[in-house]
Every structure is written in C-alpha cells, then in structure tokens.
Amino acid sequence: MRIGVVTFPGSLDDRDAARAVRLAGGEAVALWHGDADLKKVDAVILPGGFSYGDYLRCGAISRFAPVMSEVVAAANGGLPVLGICNGFQILCESHLLPGALTRNENLHFICRDQKLRIEDTNSSWTSSYTSGQEIIVPLKNGEGCFVADEKTLDQLEGEGRVIARYLDVNPNGSLRDIAGIRNSRGNVVGLMPHPEHAVEQLTGPTTDGLGFFTSILTSMVNS
Amino acid sequence: MARVVVDVMLKPEILDPQGRAVQGALGRLGITGVTDVRQGKQFVIQVDGEITPERREQLHALAAELLCNPVIEDFILVVEEDQ
C-alpha cells in the first residue's frame, strides 16, 4: 500500500506522518507541492505545519499548489485523503470539507496531550477504532477553532460526520467540541490534533494515533 | 493604472478574538465608550491599463476565491481609477 505524504514549503510533520505510515505497515511516498503528480499512490496525507508561512489564511495559498489540483480531483473520485492540522485547514480551504479553522478563541498557541472521543468509524481513516473509544494524542495549533454555520454543524452531526470530539477540555473554542470531520463518502478526513505524533511509546504520550494509519491500510485491503 | 482596494472582514456572526483583545487594550488606555472592535484585512492592488468589465470580473474572482474565504469572511472591492 502506497501512501503519499505531501511536503509544502513550511510543512513540519511530513516526516512524522511518513514514519507513522511505515510503522503501520505501509509504504510512504514523498509528494512535492510543486509537482502535479500523485505517483499512483493509494491514499494521500496532507501533514501539519505552516505551509506558505500561514500567510493570508492558513491553507489558503497551499490550496493553489500544483499538487492540490490533483488531490482535489482524486479525492472527488474517492481517493482517501487525511488532512492533519494544517492539512485540515487546506482541506477546508479547498472545499473538500465544510467549515473553516480560525484563530483559537483565547488567542494562545496550544500544545498539549489532548483527550478525544472517536465518534465515527465509517471513514477510511477511523475504521480501526471502536465508536466511542477515547484516545490521547498531541494537539498543537494556533488556528484550530472549527467554525461553520448552524445548518452545516447540524448536518455534520446528523450524518455522523463528526469523526472526533475534544473531551474534558475544548482547547481552541471549536464549535460543538469538534476535533475532526469527514466528507459524506468517508474518504476525506480532517483532524486538528496529531495522531502521527502518538505512534511510538518512546516519543508519544500513547500509541493511540496509530489507528488512523492502520485504518487506511485495512480499509484498502478490504475494498 | 488603477488602484483596487479590497477590504476583507470576518462575517458578523464569526467570533473575532483579535478584535476583542484590541478592545480590551483600549480600556487599559483609558479610552471609554468603544462598544465593539472588529479586525480585518486590506489589500491594495495596482493594475496596469484600464479596468474593463472583464478585468473587473477577474479582480472580483481574485477577491472571492483567494483574498477572502466566503465561509467566514465578506469582502468589499473598490476600484479607484483616478491615476
């Protein structure tokens, strides 16, 4: 299974995402923002970081990178795509996911081990979890406050498209404690916390994050 | 030459923590009577040649698709063709 990880200028977590893919048993393939080429991968990860320095709005300029026109077309055709943190912001700016991520409510950059509840296991990236499972993974963002209009929020909840919610503490003011969402089809997932930093006992608070990466490998074997 | 000014503001229903922080600072300066502060962005764009209707449409698309995120922001575009 070949999982592509895109590197934008300013990406930080592309190496960790690739490492998480390998630990889960997949082959990580480096993709470059300037190449409109997905190298025939089976899925794509848009990693965390500060692509294009977060200029204009987080993810707003990355959306127009050559690789993104390929990602958007492939995602609309069913290719699994996971956007983590800055990747989630890029997915919202690309209109692959609804809503937007704005400045944290308290204006602070938050870095903490965050408890989450996995609420939907029907996506390509969450099938290894059980519904209601509580996990702890690192969270680090300055603009992670998820907002959308009431109708969109109701729709996301009504269709079971909230894949994870913040537990105990809402770190950034996200509406309805939303930490991650998916598209209707379930192939595109955006998540603000960082599962790729919780895949090894040595460096992570837990290994709870590995499930996102084993999910995609399992769901591709089964499909 | 024309000068095009695009003002981008968060929609009224979107929380603006930066504006709120600025408002908090005003109080500490001893300035009273300010009931709300909203922070936005201004883009000043220089364009060669005349602003034809087609050109105007392009600039509008630039504002709508790149300068502003319509999910959370509104924009106002003004063309100053006086140079």
pLDDT at residue B32, rounded to an integer: 87
Which residues of chain B have a pLDDT value below 70?
82-83
DSSP state of A175: G
Contact B21 A92 (CB under 8 A): no
Q: Among B8, B9, B72, pick the best mutation site for testing chain A contact (most A Cβ within 10 A).
A: B72
Would you call A33 a catalytic residue per the annotation?
Answer: no
> Which residues have CB under 8 Å from A56's CB, separation 6+?
B66, B67
Contact (CB<8Å) A102/B21 = no
The one catalytic residue among A33, A70, A143, A194: A194
Residues, chain A, total? 223
Tell me the chain A residues in contact with residue B21 when contact means C-beta distances shorter than 8 Å.
Answer: 107
Q: Is A12 exposed, middle or buried (0-12, 13-18, 19+ CB in 10 A)?
A: middle
DSSP-assigned beta bridge partners for residue B4: B45, B79
pLDDT at B27 (0 to 100): 80
Of A100, A105, A107, nearest to B72 by CB-CB distance is: A100
pLDDT at A16: 98
Query: How high is the pLDDT of residue B41?
Result: 97
Predicted confidence at residue A42, as pLDDT, reads: 97
Q: Which residues of chain A have a pLDDT value below 50?
A: none
- Predicted model pTM: 0.94
In chain A the domains, ranked by start, together with CATH numbers, are 2-222 (3.40.50.880)
Please name the member of A92, A100, A105 whose beta carbon is closest to the beta carbon of B17: A105
**pLDDT for position A131:** 96
Architecture of domain B2-80: 2-Layer Sandwich (3.30)
Compare CB distances from B18 to A92, A99, A107 and report the shortest one's residue.
A107
Q: Which of A58, A85, A92, A145 is catalytic?
A: A85
> Nearest residue on chain B to A107, judged by CA atoms?
B17
Q: Which residues pair with A147 in a beta bridge?
A: A100
The pLDDT of residue B5 is 97
| pLDDT score recorded for residue A221 | 78
User: Which residues on adjacent β-strands are paired with residue A156?
Assistant: none
Angle at B18 between CA A110 and CA A113, to 5 degrees: 10
Residue-level pLDDT at A99: 97
Which letter, b or e, does each residue of A35-62 get, where b requires 16 or more Cβ atoms within 10 Å of its Cβ?
eeebeebbbbbbbbbbbbebebbbbbbb
Per-residue model confidence (pLDDT) at position B82: 56
